[in-house]
Amino acid sequence: MLLRCFIAGLALVAAPALADPPALPALHADAKHTSVSGLSAGAYLAVQLQVAYSATIVGAGIVAGGPYDCAAGNAAFVELCMGQLPFFMPGASGFVGTAEAWAIAHEIDALSHLRHRRLYVFSGGADSTVRRAAVDTAVEVFRRLGVDAANIAYVHDIPAGHALIAPDATHGCGATESPFVNRCDVAGAPYDQAKAILTQIYGTLQPPAASPPTPVPFDQRPFGSAAALMADAGRVHVPAACASAGAHCRVHVALHGCMQAEESVGDAFHAGAGFNRWAETNRLIVLYPQVNRSASNPFGCWDWWGYSSVDYARKSAPQMKAIMAMVKRLTQR
């Protein structure tokens, strides 16, 4: 009954918030082909998920994100790790050493899994929020951790501001303003970043749907402890072909940036980033977890410096555990 009610809701445009959102359904998705992407703080968390859960996450899209565990649990290092002090950007060796030590201690997955993982990395030419020095270091860390150079697509020649790039966005390419979704034309055509990310991870895609349904709310509360400091509700896009258990679809986790959660920008991220069009025709469930503003997180950022736990970059991190529990739910029968 719960699953039938959820599927019926897929055809509806839900209200921005529900007092009692429905449960996330078990859809028997393919647990071996989960991927993740994110912008800004979402990109830093995508990096953490890819490294810490490398046995499960097969690829990542990193848009304006820096190296793994760059802040080392200290909020004072945030600007440094965003490349705001380019002459003082830490080298890759320390971050690689941390990951190696944690893998030996079994606090993250074995780094050998990273060899065959596929990455899309983006640094906008007009991005003055997370500068290219930070993104360059993230790429170098992944290379030193064993990701095959041929499996990394690094795009840094588009004059974009601090934003995701989507064909239907209204902000100009170089903008850095809410809702942080821009349009950039490349070779006379709008650049489709969602397509680029999913193609890099999964290969050739079927043509996109013209008008995919709006992602529907689900209850996030059963998946994380109070320490995760996440919103009560997230969003999920379930293609029609994936709406019955046993469909064996894949899961992509799309992580918003700071000031980009639903409470701040409405549906601009989960409906406007462009993933749903491709997901609908490629048997891809898109999970949109949400983290709201709070006293310890006034801009609604994902935790990449330690405001939720000293273990924020390890598998025991409250937010990463919550997200992976959501993925596990989607992969259950």
Catalytic residues: 40, 127, 162
**Which of 35, 137, 43 shows the shortest CA–CA distance to 96?**
137
Q: Report whether 161 contacts 127 (CB < 8 A).
A: yes
Rounded to a whole number, what is the distance in angstroms from the first to the last CA of the chain?
14
**Which of 144, 109, 112, 120 shows the shortest CA–CA distance to 65?**
120
HSE (CB half, 13 Å, CA atoms) of 190? 17
Q: Given its phi and psi angles, is residue 165 left (phi above 0), alpha (psi -120 to 50 degrees) or beta?
A: beta
Give the separation between CA 58 and CA 331, rounded to whole angstroms: 15
**What token pair was written down for 260?**
């980009």
